Amino acid sequence: LDIDHGTYPFVTSSNTTAGGTATGSGYGPLYLDYVLGITKAYTTRVGSGPFPTELFDNVGKHLATVGMEKGATTGRDRRCGWFDAAAVKLAIRINSVSGICLTKLDVLDGLESIKVCTGYEGQDEAQNGLMTVDRYEQLKPIYKELPGWSESTVGIRSLEELPENARAYIKYIEEVIEAPVDIISTGPDRDETIILRHPFGA
């Protein structure tokens, strides 16, 4: 959604990157020694704009329903799709992300299989972030399919307690985005969190 790096014109009016924090707060950029990137375990978007991994099937409905995907301000339904690792990897590069907070892992509970977008056909332009919105809308995602899990992850607070396939999913995401997952959210409550590396102790 960043006005400079987003899919213009489907963007907000400001800079939403880590660099924007220095501009908006007056906190010098050299004081930033850790940048936490926050992303869901799947992808969502509100309103119009390109969305290569968007789902229109029962899985998309599952993500929207279980994840309670409504816009916080507008109340509009969020569009849902598979985790777009290619887009997250670009965001990590733009923001110099140190580690990821992966939220809503529990929403994937019960899915037989889960897909991760690892890139796009014609991906060179997409990786560089140099692409018109019309071209972006034509991208076809390249997927890696992983086994899902039937066990509940809700409220789990340690990595070891997660289902084996959930741990494998997290590990695969780390490999593709080339950044560590430092925090995992397993529910809406604050204490339903797995902290592998604390941002303030980094």
Domain ranges of the chain: 1-30, 33-201
pLDDT, position 2? 57
Range picked from 92-96, 122-126, 162-166 for highest mean pLDDT:
162-166
Sign of the torsion angle spanned by Cα atoms 158, 160, 166, 171:
positive
pTM, 2 dp:
0.88
C-alpha span between 18 and 4 (Å, rounded): 13
C-alpha span between 77 and 47 (Å, rounded): 8
Q: Which residue has the higher pLDDT, 41 or 12?
A: 41
Locus of tokens 């430092």: 182
* Residue 121 tokens, joined: 């056909």
Region 36-63 average pLDDT: 93
96-106 confidence digits (pLDDT tens): 899 999 999 99
* Residue 21 tokens, joined: 């924090």
Q: What angle do CA 119, 120, 121 make, to 5 degrees?
A: 135
- Contacts by residues 140-145 (CB-CB < 8 Å, ≥ 24 positions apart): 140/52, 141/52, 141/53, 141/82, 141/84, 141/86, 141/117, 142/117, 142/118, 143/82, 143/115, 143/116, 143/117, 143/118, 144/115, 144/116, 144/118, 144/172, 144/176, 145/113, 145/114, 145/115
pLDDT, position 104? 98
**3 state SS of 39:** strand
C-alpha span between 101 and 145 (Å, rounded): 22
* Residue 47 tokens, joined: 């309103």
C-alpha span between 158 and 179 (Å, rounded): 20
Confidence grade of residue 73 (pLDDT, cut at 50, 70, 90): confident
pLDDT, position 21? 77
Indicate the class that CATH gives domain 33-201: alpha beta
